Structure formats: structure tokens, C-alpha cells
Chains A and B, each alone.
Chain A
Amino acid sequence: MLEPLLGNKTSEKILLYLHVYGEGYSRLLSRVFGMSVSGVYQQLRRLEDGGVIVGFSKGRTRIFKLNPRYPFRSELAALLRKALQFVSEDTKEQYFRGRTRPRRTGKPV
């Protein structure tokens, strides 16, 4: 969908994920989308170098978010919102409707 603009599918998935969930890290993104960690990491670095996303260290994990200081952030958000409207229900269910609300420790799933 946005691949012609962004250059590759991995970046599209990463940006859509960060738009929906607010943050992510390379191992999680690689697990969710079934892509190699190195491929995801390479795109995260490319997006970070371009100022599109920013990274923070939490413990030993590098967490990435969309950069609120990116000059085109509202235009990018509008683009990602629009792109999500074209994502199939199956894909939304698979990738973009995961549980984010808290669950008490030890409570059975």
C-alpha cells in the first residue's frame, strides 16, 4: 500500500504498528510480523536516522515511537490513518487489534 512511497513493506508495517500501539521494539515487531530481527532493526535504524521515529532505552531494550518532533508528523499520521482504512479485516485482526489494556499478574488468560 505505502510500499512505493516508503521503499519497502517492512517500513510500512513498522510505521502502522507504531501508529496503532504507540511504541514497539525490534524483537516484538519481528515476532508479530514474522520478519527477521535484523531486517526490522535495519528499517528501524533507517527511520530513526531520518528523524521519523525516536528510540529510548528501557533496561536492555530499545523502544521506538513515532517522533512527535518530526516536522511532517501530522501529515504522516493522516497518511497512516488512511492506510489503515484499506487494511483488510483479517490483517487488522491479526496485527492491529492486539490487547493493550492491563491484566493483573497471575490472572488466568
Chain B
Amino acid sequence: MTVAWERLTTAELAAIVCDQLDRCGIRATLVGGACVTIYSDNRYISGDLDFVTDASLKELEKPLRALGFVPTGGRHFEHPRCAAFIIDFPAPPLSIGGDPVREINRLRMPRGTIRLLTPTDCVRDRLAAYYHWNDPQGLEQALMVASSHSIDHALVKRWSKDEKATVKHREFMRMLRRRKGGG
């Protein structure tokens, strides 16, 4: 497989990594900012590709080395010809706050299929950063995805209540309505 590593997009790289791990029987799900990049059509670019998997770092190392990635400390890997991205493996389980992730989206690409959070879970994932750390980027990214995708708002509302963030959720909904032109 010839890969122009220097010119890969987030989605292309995610597909290559997912495909490679899949071939070795490792299921990895893309989470975090890279999902925002994909769902926002690159309006937001994340340099981190975060995958959650039950595989150990030892199990991940061989297939990733075969692609040219090397471990660079902690739980992340880098590629010498793909300096714009870091592949990271946050600790499992796959969850959004206290909620296990129940549904996985699959996005077919020429180089493989990406397993990733659904738009609704991507919004919850970004909102979690806003709720718990007051992260304005998290709020903006949640708005970006929610304004261009169909979202299960009842689920987001319920979960926000569990996260003790009903006030911030109301603020998010107010901004989302304004962004969609609903006043």
C-alpha cells in the first residue's frame, strides 16, 4: 500500500489505522476532537487521533509499527512522515461520562472503515469538556457538530442532567437555536 503520509487528512489516517488494527483483530473506536473534524467537514482540525480499544499497548505496537508509527511515551504513537498527527489511546472503557457508549458509527473510506462516535455522542463528548472543565473549545465543537447533524436531543438533555449540568445544557441549546437561525 502506497501512502502519501505527508498529505493525509484526519479521516484518511483514521481509516488506515482502523483498517490495520482490524486486520489484527483489534477493534478501536475513534473519539474526541478527530470526530469533530470528520463531522464538521474539516472546519475544526484536530492533531490528535484518539482511539479507545481494549487491546494493550503491547498488542497495538506491532500493527502500528508495521505502518511506520513508533511509540513516543505514555499511550501515544507518532509517524516520522506524518508529523501533523499523534495517535493516542486513552484508557478504556468507551464511555461518555458515566454512560457506556452503546452505538458506534461506521464510515466507509477508500482505505478502510472508521469506527467512530455517533454525532450525538460526539456532541456529548465535547459538551463533557465544557461541563466539567469550562472548556470553550468543547462548547464550540459541540455546536459545530450539532448544527450540521441530526442529534438525539432528548438523550443529551437526560445525560446533561446526570452530569449535573442542566444550566450549561440550556446555554448550549440557546446558542444552538441562535446558530440555526431560530432566535
Contact = CB atoms under 8 A, between A and B. Distances in A.
Interface size class of A (residues with CB under 8 A): 10 to 19
B34 interface: no
- The binding surface of chain A is classed by DSSP as loop
Interface residues of B, number: 13
B98 A73 contact: yes
Given A68-B132, A73-B98, A74-B98, A49 B93 contact: no
B91 A69 contact: no
Interface in A60-85: 68-69, 71-74
A71 B95 contact: yes
Contacts of B91: 49-51
Contacts of A50: 91
A68 B98 CA distance: 9
Interface string A43-55: 0010001110000
Contacts of A74: 98
Given A49-B74, A49-B75, A71 B132 contact: no
A74 B99 CA distance: 12
B90 interface: yes
Contacts of B63: none
A45 B100 CA distance: 24
A74 B97 CA distance: 10
A71 B75 contact: no
A19 to B, nearest CB: 16
Contacts of A73: 98
Interface string B75-115: 10000000000000011010101111000000000000000
5 closest A-B pairs by beta carbon, nearest first, are A71-B95, A51-B91, A68-B132, A50-B91, A69-B128
19 contacts: A45-B74, A49-B74, A49-B75, A49-B91, A50-B91, A51-B90, A51-B91, A68-B97, A68-B132, A69-B97, A69-B128, A69-B132, A71-B93, A71-B97, A71-B98, A71-B100, A72-B98, A73-B98, A74-B98
Interface of B: 74-75, 90-91, 93, 95, 97-100, 128, 132-133
